[in-house]
Structure 1
């Protein structure tokens, strides 16, 4: 017999026990560049808008914290405060806590790959933006696709930057 889909609970924002305001994103980029060079670009968060077109603005508020504004295809800006929790150049690891429209964490890990670098990005967040929470059910596939496009664009921009091409 086929599975019966449950309707989302309006009070909890869930579908069959799944929190529709919780997202886990994982991306892997293989880049034709030295791992240390890639790590150096990723640790320079204020420089992201130079190569990643969806990162519209970064305002450093302290040595360990900054405000970021980003937008991909959907006509909606997300604003987060990112606070550096761990920066380990020897391990090529960056970890940040996020607050604002998204609450959670993200991790960048850079390692060696055949002929270049492998970048692993992990992000686990809860959406706090009222608009996104109201659109949790119909918008979820769009939000995930939007994030995938943003990551694809980020990879392309980073490749261009590392190749010495003109940034975005």
Structure 2
């Protein structure tokens, strides 16, 4: 049994696309600035294992494979507890960047079964995850720019 989810979001960061892409493609630094990303391990030049846990008491074990690391598109294929992709499209916006986020994933097993009843809670949990991304990304990009 498979259940699909599509998530979209858009927000601005006060930095140029290249600076934003630098942070987004540095997966190993994610636990420092994205609170819901608990651990990252490099598995190869284009592959990493990522452990995520948002507000709900369950942890996702994911493998991310780079599809594109070059702006305007930063994208990974996702496998493990979720299957699909996550993509950031970086659009220049004045002196900053608008990030258009899109994630399409499928879940199977117990999570897919539970999603029939608790789908709104799972969507809310993902929104909490992305709120952590928005806040942390802005801080990390700003910190790196200030250090230069």
Contact preservation (8 Å) 1:132, 1:139: no
Find the counterpart in structure 2 of residue 92 from structure 1: 72
Query: RMSD value over aligned CA atoms?
Result: 1.6
- Give TM-score scaled by structure 2 length: 0.90
Higher helix fraction (1 or 2) = 2
Find the counterpart in structure 1 of residue 116 from structure 2: 137
Find the counterpart in structure 2 of residue 149 from structure 1: 128
What is the alpha-carbon distance in structure 2 between the residues aligned to residue 53 and residue 38 of structure 1? 18
Q: CA deviation at 1:163?
A: 2.5
Unaligned regions of 5+ residues in structure 2, if any? none
Q: CA deviation at 1:92?
A: 2.9
Find the counterpart in structure 1 of residue 43 from structure 2: 61
Q: CA deviation at 1:110?
A: 1.1
Q: Which has the higher contact order (CA 8 A, sep 6+)?
A: 2
Over alpha carbons, which structure has the higher Rg?
Answer: 1
* Cα-to-partner distance string for 1:103-133 (whole Å, 9 max, x where unaligned): 01111111211331111111101013x3312
What is the alpha-carbon distance in structure 2 between the residues aligned to residue 33 and residue 87 of structure 1? 17
Find the counterpart in structure 2 of residue 6 from structure 1: none
1:29 aligns with 2:1: no
1:118 aligns with 2:86: no
What is the alpha-carbon distance in structure 2 between the residues aligned to residue 23 and residue 121 of structure 1? 14
Q: CA deviation at 1:75?
A: 0.4
- Give TM-score scaled by structure 1 length: 0.80
What is the alpha-carbon distance in structure 1 between the residues aligned to residue 141 and residue 44 of structure 2? 27
What is the alpha-carbon distance in structure 2 between the residues aligned to residue 146 and residue 32 of structure 1? 26
Contact preservation (8 Å) 2:21, 2:69: no
1:36–1:99 distance in 2 versus 1, CA, 3 Å? same
Aligned residues: 144
